Structures are given as C-alpha cells and as structure tokens.
Amino acid sequence: MDKIIGMGNALVDVLAILDNDMTLQEMQLPKGSMQLIDEQKLAQINRKFATMKTYRATGGSAGNTILALANLGMAPGFLGKVGRDEVADFFRNDFMEHGIEARLLECNLPSGIASTFISPDGERTFGTYLGAASTLKAEDLSLSIFADYSYFYIEGYLVQDHEMILRAMELGKQAGLQICLDMASYNIVAGDLDFITHLIEKYVDIVFSNEEEARAFTGKDPEAAVEMIARKCSIAVVKMGARGALVKKGSKAFHIDAVKADRVIDTTGAGDYFSAGFLYGLTIGTSLEKCGMIGALLAAYVIQVVGTTLSNEKWNEIKLNIDMILSE
C-alpha cells in the first residue's frame, strides 16, 4: 500500500455549536469563511467560549485528512509546526496514539488554535490563530522528509507562503511523489489566484476543491470548473456537499452521489474526510469512481458528529461499508 504524508497547519480545534448566527456578527466573522485572527481576537473569542459548551480535537485541514487515513489502517505522516505548550502536547499525543509519524517542529510561539463556530444548519466558520503553525518555513524542509512516501497532501492554507510551498512541492517532485493540493477556502483561492494557478500547472497532480473554491478558481459552475481544472492536472475533484462530487481524469468523468446522512450536525472536516477516502482508494488501487464513493462515505459519517472524532464503532462500520463498495 502506498504511503501518504500531509503538510498543514498543526491546529487544535475548539468547537462551539450556535443557536443562531448572531455570534458570528458579534465576532465579525463572515459565515462559512476561514479568517486569520490575532491574539487579541483570539482572547475575545475565548471570552465568548467561556460562556458556552465547547469541544476540543486535533484539527487543521491536512491534519483531519491524515487522521482519517490513520483510522483506516494506514501509517501516514504529517509535517507541521507547534509551540512548546499543552496544546502541542495534545496534538502530538493524539497523532502518536493513532500511529501517525508526526514530524512536528517547534518554536516559542503558542500553538495554533482554530476557533470553530457551528451554525444551526451545520455550516462552520473559523477564526484561526495560526501562532507557531505559521512559522513553518522553506529552510525547515529537506528531501529526507519525503523518503518512503508516494503521495504528498498539502492544504491550501499554506500557499500564502510562496517560498515555502514552492520548496515543498519541488522537494516532493524530486522525491517522486504525487502532489495533492486541497484548495482550502474560496477566499484563499481568490486572493492568490495567479500563484495557485502556477502551482497547479507546474507541480500538482491531484486537485481537491469544493464548489465555492472551484468557482473562485475558474469563474464557472462545478461541471465546467472540473473540466477546466482537469486540463491543468491529472485528477480534478470538485466536492458539492449534498449534491455529491465530480471527478475527472482525462476523458473519464464521474458524478459521485452523496451518501445520505441521518442528521447533519456539523460539516467541519467533511471535505477533509472526502479527500481521505479518495486518497485511500488511490493507495489500494481501486477505480476513480470507487475512490469517490469511499470519500463520500467518510464525509457522510463525519458530518453526523461535532468536530472530526469518530468512535471505534463508527470506524468499524466505515470499514465494512468500504469492503462492500470494493466488492461491487
């Protein structure tokens, strides 16, 4: 089985379920967005969280994907940066317990925290304090990091550091890895369009996006967007929530139906889990259509819980359902 290493912001998610969206207005956070915040804004959010019931879990976009892959029985790796604090210990211990080779560099800044507000309709809004995570630099990377891996999965939030992301992709290519990029957020794509286009055309093999990100990248609806993206890379995936996903490679195109969830509680990590399922399918050599079906399955499970932590019982159910998909 091929191995995957992910790189992203090493964050711990602190999640709160909202009764309405007034809190988002109070915190000046546009619904559905990911906004980078400073320590002052983090302190304001923490004061609000002190009056609410909150949940804590390891997070970050790539972190969610890597953790899901570990729960499927793989032995993935993760590269990120943390502080020297209890938040870093929480992140490191959780990954180690799941058999992830966590290459966590350290610095003196506080570890990153993603304050996550979950609206009544399941939409999530992030106020993200990157802290130590933002100090991952080009000089931290070396070719040896990528030894023994076949896929390199990168979250799009990192593309804002052009020097670092270029070196990461160049090293990944030098090591012979397939480069996978998740576009991360529509505002990230819109704000750095030319650079992201350059990365995809020159380095990226597999692009994951949701329909808002795909529209920000191409100006088109999902059906036209997946066509345009697929002309710039090997495999293009556009995730459309309850309407499923589109997958295209060359002349092969698939519409993947969403797996019906009994109840949508929190969409946090849905796209990350879809990517995990899709990549899992690639590593075991199944068809692109079945890769998408496995991705849809994982997404359906994670939106039924707060955050991205599923019980062992649920993971056993997922594995049985994957076996059914593969046997069809």
When divided into structural domains, the chain yields a total of 1
Residue with tokens 């093999």: 205
pLDDT at 104 over 90: yes
Percent of the chain that is helix, strand, coil (3-state, to 5): 45, 25, 30
For residue 256, give the nearest of 265, 243, 266 by alpha carbon.
Answer: 243
Maximum pairwise Cα distance, the chain: 54
pLDDT of residue 92: 96
pLDDT of residue 181: 98
Residue 124 binned pLDDT confidence (cut-offs 50, 70, 90): confident
Q: How far is Cα 99 from Cα 67, in angstroms, rounded to an integer? A: 9
pLDDT at 1 over 80: no
pLDDT of residue 45: 94
Q: What is the DSSP letter of 79?
A: E
| Stretch 41-64: mean pLDDT | 92
Report which residue type is found at 267.
Answer: T
Q: Summarize pLDDT for 237-277 with one digit per residue, the tens.
A: 999 999 999 999 999 999 999 999 988 888 878 999 999 99
**CB–CB of 213/186 below 8 Å?**
yes
Residue 328 binned pLDDT confidence (cut-offs 50, 70, 90): confident
| Stretch 101-128: mean pLDDT | 92
**CB–CB of 7/158 below 8 Å?**
yes
Percent of the chain with pLDDT over 90: 88
pLDDT of residue 264: 86
**CB–CB of 200/231 below 8 Å?**
no
Q: Cβ contacts of residue 194 below 8 Å, gap of 6+?
A: none
* CATH number, position 195: 3.40.1190.20
> In the numeric block, which tokens belong to residue 88?
């870093």
| Stretch 65-72: mean pLDDT | 97
0.85 cut: is pTM over it? yes
Q: What is the DSSP string of 195-264?
A: HHHHHHHHT-SEEEEEHHHHHHHHSS-HHHHHHHHHTTSSEEEEE-GGG-EEEEETTEEEEEPPPPPS--
Average pLDDT over the chain reads 94
Q: How far is Cα 34 from Cα 187, in angstroms, rounded to an integer? A: 8
Percent of the chain with pLDDT over 70: 100
Q: Summarize pLDDT for 8-30 with one digit per residue, the tens.
A: 999 999 999 999 999 999 999 99
pLDDT of residue 127: 93
pLDDT of residue 308: 86
Q: Map residue 72 onto helix, strand or coil.
A: coil
Q: Summarize pLDDT for 181-240 with one digit per residue, the tens.
A: 999 888 889 999 999 999 999 999 999 999 999 999 999 999 999 999 999 999 999 999
pLDDT of residue 122: 83
Q: How far is Cα 107 from Cα 85, in angstroms, rounded to an integer? A: 10
Q: How far is Cα 317 from Cα 301, in angstroms, rounded to an integer? A: 10
| Stretch 69-80: mean pLDDT | 96
**Residue 255 lies in domain:** 4-327
| Stretch 107-123: mean pLDDT | 92
pLDDT of residue 34: 80
**CB–CB of 163/196 below 8 Å?**
no
Beta-strand relationship, 124-129 and 151-155: unpaired
